[in-house]
Amino acid sequence: MSDRKLQVIPLGGLGEFGMHSMAIRLDDDIIVIDAGMMFPEAELLGVDIVTPDFAYLEQNKEHVRALILTHGHEDHIGAVPFLLSEVNVPVYGTAFTLALVERRLDEHDLRDQARLNVVKPGESIEIGPFRIELIHVTHSIVDSVAVAITTDLGIIIHTGDFKVDPTPTDNKLFDLHTLADYGRRGVLLLLCDSTNVERPGFTESERAVRPRLEDAFSRTEGRLVVSCFSSSIHRLQQIVDLSAQYGRKVAFLGRSVLQVTEIAHNLGLLELPDGILLRPQDVMQSPRSRVTVVASGSQGEPMSAMSRVAVDNHRNLSLTPGDAVLLSSRVIPGNEKAIFRMVDHICRRGADVWYGTMNPPLHVSGHASVEELKLVLNLVRPRYFVPVHGEYRQLMKHAMLARHMSSAWLEEAFLLETGQTLEFDHRGARRGENVPVGRLCIDSGTLDDVVEDLVIRDRRHLSEEGFIVPIIAINKLTGTHEGLPEIVSRGFVSTDDSAVIIGRAKEVVARTLRESTPEERSDWGLMQEKIRVDLKRFINREASRRPLILPVILEV
């Protein structure tokens, strides 16, 4: 026993938002908690998603026993296909979480070789020297759990993402009793969500949204369009229930919301009354006062259902005066411009838009505020504490909170960042050696397109494929384009072939502009994306090449 060593190895999610992944190692046995992704910053041109670098797990793949998932948000499961492609280990999680993982694995043709194991909250499993129990917690997505890991050297509890919701819409309460039982038994280490540590008080219950939703249903005479995160099953259930109460049928628009609602309904997590559903193609033919539409794209993502509806370019829905649009989600930092541009477009349709901070609220957080964090600390009473899931300022504030609460049971709060390890033995805890970590930039979302180094990747891309810059002049007042588009290319095709392909590429750009509405042409972000997609498809078909395409729109 005196020679045994327990290690906590953060592979992502400490000092940053997203890419949550934590390895726990006892001698030569490793389990991994979560494998998440994050979306790239604006400067990462050509990158679709970013995942942790799992080099440490690949180097020790013969020791990795399992992957445990706390819940189904992309920042916790988005990198599962990329991890399993290198280290194919059994995966454990709740039914809804694994159903969302299956969808991701299908996209990468990995479903048949994956070993998925459904575990219910309250159940325990034995994996090597680890005894693992999943503890039900409340969060903004259903089937969320904390993980209690019992080892010979002590108990580790990882909260995952959570808030303490006293009145959850599904009536499944946070299992505080089990958490308290572990606290009485003695917990070596608590790893706790730090996302909302800067917010005082308690996070509002999901039920706090209902009065605002009821207000919208009672006041809206036309169609009611609601956009929220597709994984927010609690929110979707309230929308469905209110639609039934007010005599409206519900149509779902957008691939993500269709897939997630189908999964939730099949698992019995989303109740749909008989006759409540309306086919998207029947929305415009139905009485406006009898229609609720749930559309994906609350963050103003280009080409999402809500963005298309906003510029009147969706085949199944057109907004008219008297309709109301509810953006029932938070504004993710960095998305402000896209969201408010979408709101402007909706306003041009004459529809009423509900968004932002309201009282009662239109959206509530899924993460614990200060008083809930104090509650969990008091129940668990860990010997050691490590804040997780947050940028450095949040981790520091959470560590300070724990230190100020008690010196009777807390020996130390360690402030770690990704790659910095913590070691335990019979003498206690200390910092260990750093492990290799980093970020992998994924281009086109496929396993074959991992960008090992962004600079090298860009140079290689440009040297092998070249680049194309379509230049379009658009009149700011009229929304019309001035003259034919110009196209500048370098390193793309030989001079002999260039004239023909570039000439036809101009026609593609001109057609895209011609088939877009004046309002779409006034939205530069949307037009750049449409031109890039159409030109990429044309060049790949005609020349089997993938040049870097950077549309430039000039205001005249």
CA 337 to chain centre: 19
Q: Which of 384, 31, 358 is nearest to 204 (CA)?
A: 358
Q: Which of 211, 208, 222 is nearest to 346 (CA)?
A: 222
* Secondary structure, 3-state, 373-441: HHHHHHHHCCCEEEEECECHHHHHHHHHHHHHHCCCCCCEECCCCCCCCEEEECCEEEECCCCCCCEEE
Q: Say which of 71, 367, 461, 481 is annotated catalytic.
A: 367
Indicate the burial class of 99 (C-beta count within 10 angstroms; 0-12, 13-18, 19 or more). Answer: buried
Instruction: Measure the CA–CA gap between 209 and 365, rounded to whole angstroms.
Output: 11
Residue 216 contacts residue 353 (beta carbons within 8 Å): no
> What one-character DSSP code corresponds to residue 140?
S
Residue 450 and residue 82: Cα distance in Å, rounded?
Answer: 9
Residues 357 and 367: their CA atoms lie apart, in Å, by 17
Report the DSSP beta bridge partners of residue 20: none
193 carries an active-site annotation:
yes
For 350, other C-beta atoms within 10 Å of its C-beta total 12
- Any idea which residue has 């897939």 for tokens? 259
* Amino acid identity, position 469: V
Whether the upstream peptide bond of residue 360 has omega within 30° of 0, thus cis, is yes
Could you count the other beta carbons within 10 Å of the beta carbon of residue 286? 15
The answer to whether 20 is a known catalytic residue is no
How far, in Å, CA of 525 to CA of 551, rounded? 10
Q: Which of 75, 193, 323, 352 is catalytic?
A: 193
| Tokens standing for residue 295 | 């559309």
Q: Which residues lie across from 63 on neighbouring strands?
A: none
Q: Which residues are catalytic?
A: 193, 367
